[in-house]
Every structure is written in C-alpha cells, then in structure tokens.
Amino acid sequence: MANDDIILRVERYDPERGPRPYAQSYRVPVRKGMMVLDALNYVRDELDSSLAFRWSCRMGICGSCGMMVNGMPKLTCQDPVDRYRVRAIRIAALDHFPVIRDLVSDISDFMEKLPNIQPWITRTEEKPLSAGEYLQTPEERALYANHAACINCMLCYAACPVYGLDERFLGPAAIALAHRYNLDSRDQGEALRAPYLSLSHSVWECTFVGECSEVCPKHVMPAESIQREKLRLALRWLLPRAAFRRRP
C-alpha cells in the first residue's frame, strides 16, 4: 500500500439488497489538498460506480454534501482528508435522517416543516409600487446577515441530540431562519410566525446543547437564535400587545 493511500470505510445501504446497512472499504490515493468529497468521487469514478452520494458545488454553497465523517457531521467538500491523521476514515449518511441509499439522506421532514415558519419577507401592509423599494441600511442588514447564510446542509440536525430523540422538534436551521426573517427590518411577519414557533415542539424543546452552532459550516449560530426566539416569544406572551409596534 502506497504511503499516502487512505482507506474510506463507507457505511452503505441498498434497500434492494436488504434491510441492513453494511460496511465497505475503499483504498484511495491521497492528492494534495484532497477533500473527503474528492476521495468519494475518486471511488465512484475509479472503483465503484454504484456508490451513491450527493454533491454539487464543491465550494460549500449548495449544502448537499453533508455526511458523518468519523462520527461528526461535516460538509465533505470542505473537509480536507489530511485533517484526519488516521489511515481509515469512517463515512456514513447524516445522523437522525432516514437513509435513501448509501450516503444519501432523506430530509423531507425538514422540508415539510420549513413552510410553517414562513421563511420569506411577509408584509401586512404593502407600499404602493410608486413608493419605491424597501430600503435597508447596512446596520439593519448586519442584524440578520449571519443567520441568512444558512445553506440547508442539515449538519445541525445531525448534531442535535434533541432532534435525535424526538423528530417532532422543529430543529436548529428552521428556527434560525425564522429568527432571520423576524430580525429583517423589511419584514412584518413576526406575529404570524409566533403561533407556530410557540408550539411545544418548536423552540421550547431546545435544551441549548449548542452542538448545532458548533458544527455549522456557515456560522449561522442556530443555538443562539433559538434562545433569542424563546425570549421574544416569552416577552410577547408577558407584555401587552402595545409593546410590539409594527415595523413601518
């Protein structure tokens, strides 16, 4: 075995082959600057075309290449192979999601929850077209900018022990996104999002473990946004309605 070869130990699953996952190992020659995703692509191109995994942009933007690498949720296109000072790297589909095949997870649970938080700019009063666009200062944008960087890679769901125990939990990325729109100076939808966010399995289920913020490749800080949403919702409950002036 060449000195700079690495072994990928991939947890595979093929529903047509049987209900149980199985492990398969591949030997991959390491190139300089190789990412885990590059190693997987080498396997598919050179060794085994049946290996299924998702990827698209290879630059940390599309969010489709998330997998468990040595037990940690990682964006594999941003995860250098030489970070792992071991001969064998274990690769599996993201934790806490059903597996469709090999390394491809089924994230429909998230996709179904997402519209409930209305992740778009919601206006209760529209300005007439003639009044021009909704302007925003750089400071107003900075308020939500990092929460808007989410690429829906689902690493945070794979890292969240609460979601792992109870998939009814709305989960980190969805709440961070709700928070992002609640912070947006152009948005007037906070009151519309509040009833769904107040349900038991929404924000309250979070126990602030913080792993989601730890693993997030885009520094969205979902754990922090969840605590802030809890505070907003609690104040909304405790204070008279008049305290919440609508945004212009």
Partner 1 sequence: MRFLERLEPLLWALFSAGGTIAALLLPVHVFLNNIAMPLGWFRPDDYDYTHAARLLGHPLVKAYLAVFLVPTLFHAAHRIKLLPHELVLPPSPGIATPIAYLIAAALAIAAVVVIVLAP
Check if the beta carbon of residue 214 is closer than 8 Å to that of residue 182: no
Does residue 170 belong to the site contacting ligand SF4 (CB under 6 A)? no
Q: Which of ligand SF4, ligand FES, partner 1, none binds 77 (CB below 5-8 Å, type-dependent)? A: ligand FES
Backbone CA torsion sign across 177, 79, 208, 94: positive
Does residue 63 belong to the site contacting ligand FES (CB under 6 A)? yes
Please give the sequence-ordered ranges of beta strands (E in DSSP) within 76-120, or none if there are none.
88-92, 99-101, 104-105
The residue among 84 and 204 lying less far from partner 1, judged by its C-beta, is 204
Does residue 152 belong to the site contacting ligand SF4 (CB under 6 A)? yes
Residue from 6, 36, 65, 91 that binds ligand FES (CB under 6 A)? 65
Residue from 9, 27, 44, 58 that binds ligand FES (CB under 6 A)? 58
Rounded CA gap, 183 and 228, in Å? 11
The residue among 52 and 148 lying less far from ligand SF4, judged by its C-beta, is 148
CB of 171 to ligand SF4, least distance (A): 8
Rounded CA gap, 217 and 200, in Å? 28
Rounded CA gap, 233 and 106, in Å? 31
Does residue 73 belong to the site contacting ligand FES (CB under 6 A)? no
Task: Please give the size of the binding site for ligand SF4, defined by CB under 6 A.
Answer: 15
Rounded CA gap, 178 and 132, in Å? 26
Does residue 119 belong to the site contacting ligand SF4 (CB under 6 A)? no
Number of H helices, E strands in the chain: 9, 7
Does residue 203 belong to the site contacting ligand SF4 (CB under 6 A)? no
Q: In the complex, which residues of this chain contact ligand FES (CB under 6 A)?
A: 55-58, 60-65, 75, 77
